């Protein structure tokens, strides 16, 4: 970032913006939990019948949009449900419910994601874990934390170096029934070479779990920028590394993601493993630029 950009960012008062983001994520959390308790009436499909959206996703995005725009009317807004890509100046990147399949089926593990970007750079990220109501956040250059009643706890990645000792998470894409390129090859590769793999249904929390050292790594393809933006900042601020399947630094536009505790041997074993597993695929769905 140039000095001029840095000054503008500082002039923004990022700590005030972070407080707003935490507050809005809490309001949205209350809303979706209330709606869930009252019973969800409309569970609709998006890209196909397993890609769900509920009225709570839409209401949560509306609330987050309205509250953020009220305070920062000049910032752009890139939310999963309205999905208008933003590429300039300051903009929010928002997932109103990450883990919608868990939410819609009553599994208590989902989250709300809010990030603030300046162009390609994520400055702030917040993940609100629900229904547990845990708040996680990071600020570029200032670390990653969990907010607790007794203060902010700094999150640090763990130090596992060997793939054989790594505890990993992953998730499967909504197109999994239609394409061979659906993460089964990668899953099979790592299943027999690691301590274990969990598929918990929230990409946002998968990244938080790497940042706080519970897991050592996480990989997944076809995520949206809203699934990953806050958690990627948290992993990096907690000492970890996040790349695409080719090992290049993850960006908002990346279609694949590998996060780790940043131990060079583990990160490279994850990248190599994904590439090796994908070699036998007959049809490829990831963009050529992210292929092996």
- From 97-105, 123-131, 157-165, 187-195, span contacting Ca ion (CB under 5 A): 97-105
Q: 206 Cβ partners below 8 Å, 6+ apart?
A: 169, 170, 171, 200, 215, 218, 220, 231, 259
Question: Out of ligand 2AM, Ca ion, none, which partner does residue 187 contact, by CB within 5 to 8 A per kind?
Answer: none
Confirm or reject binding of residue 80 to Ca ion (CB under 5 A).
yes
Lookup: tokens for 38? 């009252």
Q: How far is the CB of 255 from ligand 2AM (least distance, A)?
A: 10
Q: How far is the CB of 96 from Ca ion (least distance, A)?
A: 6
* Binding residues vs ligand 2AM (CB under 6 A): 95, 98-100, 171, 173-174, 201-203, 222-224, 227
Q: 270 Cβ partners below 8 Å, 6+ apart?
A: 163, 217, 219, 258, 260
Question: Out of ligand 2AM, Ca ion, none, which partner does residue 63 contact, by CB within 5 to 8 A per kind?
Answer: none
Confirm or reject binding of residue 206 to Ca ion (CB under 5 A).
no
Question: Out of Ca ion, ligand 2AM, none, which partner does residue 171 contact, by CB within 5 to 8 A per kind?
Answer: ligand 2AM
Question: Out of Ca ion, ligand 2AM, none, which partner does residue 224 contact, by CB within 5 to 8 A per kind?
Answer: ligand 2AM
> Which residue number, 54 or 263, has a Cβ lying nearer to ligand 2AM?
54
Question: Out of Ca ion, ligand 2AM, none, which partner does residue 223 contact, by CB within 5 to 8 A per kind?
Answer: ligand 2AM
Residue nearest to ligand 2AM (CB): 171
Contact (Cβ atoms closer than 8 angstroms) between residue 216 and residue 198: no
Return phi, psi of residue 242, to 5°: -135, 125
Question: Out of Ca ion, ligand 2AM, none, which partner does residue 186 contact, by CB within 5 to 8 A per kind?
Answer: none
- From 39-47, 95-103, 204-212, 280-288, span contacting Ca ion (CB under 5 A): 95-103
Confirm or reject binding of residue 61 to Ca ion (CB under 5 A).
no
Contact (Cβ atoms closer than 8 angstroms) between residue 241 and residue 267: yes
Strand partners for 220: 257
Lookup: tokens for 258? 């590998």
Q: How far is CA 67 from CA 12, 38, 74, 146, 199, in A?
A: 17, 23, 13, 23, 33
Q: 267 Cβ partners below 8 Å, 6+ apart?
A: 217, 241, 243, 247, 258, 260
- Give the Cα separation of 132 and 124 in Å (integer): 22
- In 48-183, which residue ranges form alpha helices assigned H by DSSP? 55-71, 100-105
> Which residue number, 14 or 229, has a Cβ lying nearer to ligand 2AM?
229
> Which residue number, 217 or 224, has a Cβ lying nearer to ligand 2AM?
224
Can you give the binding site for Ca ion, defined by CB under 5 A? 80, 95, 97, 100
């Amino acid at each position: 970032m140039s000095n001029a950009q840095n000054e503008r960012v500082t002039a923004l008062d990022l700590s005030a913006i972070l407080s707003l983001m935490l507050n809005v994520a809490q309001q949205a959390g209350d809303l979706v939990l209330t709606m869930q308790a009252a019973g969800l009436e409309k569970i609709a499909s998006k890209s196909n019948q397993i890609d769900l959206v509920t009225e709570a996703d839409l209401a949560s995005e509306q609330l987050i949009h309205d509250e953020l725009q009220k305070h920062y009317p000049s910032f752009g807004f890139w939310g999963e449900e309205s999905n208008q890509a933003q590429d300039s100046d300051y903009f929010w990147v928002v997932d109103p419910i990450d883990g919608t399949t868990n939410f819609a089926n009553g599994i208590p593990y989902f989250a709300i994601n809010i990030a603030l970007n300046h162009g390609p750079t994520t400055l702030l990220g917040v993940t609100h874990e629900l229904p547990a109501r845990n708040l996680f956040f990071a600020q570029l250059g200032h670390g990653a934390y969990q907010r607790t009643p007794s203060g902010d706890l700094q999150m640090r990645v763990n130090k596992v170096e060997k793939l054989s000792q790594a505890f990993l998470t992953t998730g499967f894409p909504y197109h999994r029934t239609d394409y061979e390129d659906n993460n089964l090859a990668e899953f099979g590769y790592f299943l027999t070479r690691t301590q274990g793999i969990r598929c918990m249904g929230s990409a946002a929390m998968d990244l938080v779990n790497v940042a706080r050292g519970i897991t050592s790594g996480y990989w997944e393809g076809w995520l949206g920028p809203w699934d990953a933006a806050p958690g990627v900042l948290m992993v990096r601020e907690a000492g970890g590394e996040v790349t695409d399947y080719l090992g290049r630094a993850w960006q908002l536009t990346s279609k694949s993601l590998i996060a780790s505790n940043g131990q060079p041997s583990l990160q490279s074993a994850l990248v190599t493993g994904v590439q090796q597993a994908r070699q036998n695929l007959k049809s490829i769905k990831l963009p050529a630029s992210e292929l092996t």
